[in-house]
């Protein structure tokens, strides 16, 4: 049974989608055993508590540096024997030390078709640029911002009347399906990394 820790800073809708996928068998042989946030007010923590999942808050202001912050998280996650770290709206860029501790065991989902529109404004930037197609990307986390090897992507058309909110809502629907699929592939050992490419061995 693979032990998953979810890192979230906000609402936690992807956390809810992952828990639903585990409950209905789309993800097997894995469970979320821990939810971590950098914000005490994150609703993701409430979601976790409703599912009787232990939570922990690591407040950045309690640590003298990013490195000290991540080192504390590394020690905690390793003590909890975490197999996979899943970022679900975790709004912090992790350090190289964190990446090294969980190499190819940290996933993130981003609301654009990477490498286009990285960063925290992926939906707004895509809409402002005038693209006709956008989507979402599940990728492994590396030392850069949204630069790790891509696991899965899915596209959707941008409508002429889309706003940031309407486009975000439709991308969220994609995320809630795609993220559990990527996690299931990892749990089943189906993802093979060759250089920058993630090959899916079905």
Whole-structure pTM value: 0.95
What is the helix (H) or strand (E) element at residue 156, kind and residue range? Answer: strand 150-157
| Adjacent-strand bridge partners of 80 | none
Cβ–Cβ under 8 Å, residues 53 and 45: no
Structure tokens at 194: 């060759």
What Rg value do the Cα atoms of the chain yield, rounded? 16
Output the domain CATH number for residue 32. Answer: 3.40.50.170
* Residue environment code for 7-21, b if the CB has 16+ CB neighbours within 10 A, otherwise e: bbbbbbbbbbbbbeb
Domain residue limits at 32: 2-200
Cβ–Cβ under 8 Å, residues 120 and 168: no
**Total number of domains in the chain:** 1
Q: How many residues are listed for the chain in this entry?
A: 202
Who contacts 50 (Cβ-Cβ below 8 Å, separation ≥6)? none
Catalytic residue among 110, 139, 172, 176: 110
Q: Is 110 a catalytic residue?
A: yes
pLDDT in tens, the chain (202 residues): 999 999 999 999 999 999 999 999 999 999 999 999 999 999 999 999 999 999 999 999 999 999 999 999 999 999 999 999 999 999 899 999 999 999 999 999 999 999 999 999 999 999 999 999 999 999 999 999 999 999 999 999 999 999 999 999 999 999 999 999 999 999 999 999 998 999 998 6
d(CA 26, CA 8): 22
């Amino acid at each position: 049974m693979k032990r998953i820790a979810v890192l979230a800073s906000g609402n936690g809708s992807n956390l809810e989608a992952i828990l639903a996928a585990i409950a209905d068998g789309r993800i097997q042989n894995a469970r979320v055993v821990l939810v971590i946030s950098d914000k005490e007010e994150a609703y993701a923590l409430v979601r976790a508590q409703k599912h009787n999942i232990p939570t922990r808050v690591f407040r950045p202001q309690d640590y003298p540096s990013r490195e000290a912050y991540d080192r504390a998280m590394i020690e905690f996650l390793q003590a909890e024997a975490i197999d996979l770290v899943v970022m679900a709206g975790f709004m912090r860029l992790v350090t190289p030390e964190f990446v090294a501790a969980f190499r190819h065991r940290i996933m993130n989902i981003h609301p654009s078709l990477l490498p286009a529109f990285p960063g925290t404004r992926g939906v707004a930037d895509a809409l402002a640029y005038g693209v006709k197609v956008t989507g979402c990307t599940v990728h492994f986390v590396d030392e850069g911002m949204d630069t790790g090897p891509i696991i899965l992507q899915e596209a959707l058309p941008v409508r002429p009347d889309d706003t940031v909110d309407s486009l975000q809502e439709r991308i969220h629907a994609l995320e809630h399906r795609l993220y559990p699929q990527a996690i299931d592939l990892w749990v089943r050992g189906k993802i093979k990394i060759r250089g920058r490419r993630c090959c899916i061995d079905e």
